[in-house]
Amino acid sequence: MNIEQMGLKAYTSALRNFAGTEKALAAGNDLNVEKAPSSFGAALTDSLAKVNTLQTEKGSMIKSFASGENQNVHELMISMQKAGLAMNLTTAVRNKVLEAYRELSRLQF
């Protein structure tokens, strides 16, 4: 099998998977789509748990890289960027919530 045939086979396979996913979504099937949390508190708890998971994953990858167990620099950098972006977003949301609280506390009734 030459490269062109392998590429065509991969392309048709990806196209079939995409079409199957599209049909399943149209039929209303659940494809590991996350359910919306029922309240703001639940959404906040879920988000903080995900950020914590990313941070612990980053820490374990740094330790394994430093000890020489894992030599994949690309995955390490990706996990570090994911954890950093998640932390920056969490900090921005926290700052906006605090700003809104301060604004509400300044209101006079």
* Tens-place pLDDT, residues 2-11: 665 665 566 5
Domains of the chain: which residue ranges?
1-30, 38-109
Q: What CA–CA distance (Å, rounded) separates 13 from 15? A: 5
Task: Give the torsion through C-alpha atoms of 90, 97, 39, 108, to 10 deg.
Answer: 180
- What sign for the dihedral angle of Cα 53, 56, 59, 61? negative
Q: What CA–CA distance (Å, rounded) separates 88 from 75? A: 20
* Tens-place pLDDT, residues 95-105: 999 999 999 99
Q: Is the pTM of this model over 0.75?
A: no
* Tens-place pLDDT, residues 13-23: 666 666 666 66
- Label residue 34 by pLDDT band (50, 70, 90): low
Which amino acid, one-letter code, is at 35?
K
Q: What CA–CA distance (Å, rounded) separates 64 from 76? A: 10
- The residue written with tokens 């900090």 in the block is 91
Residue 11 has a pLDDT of 59
DSSP-derived letter for residue 22 is H
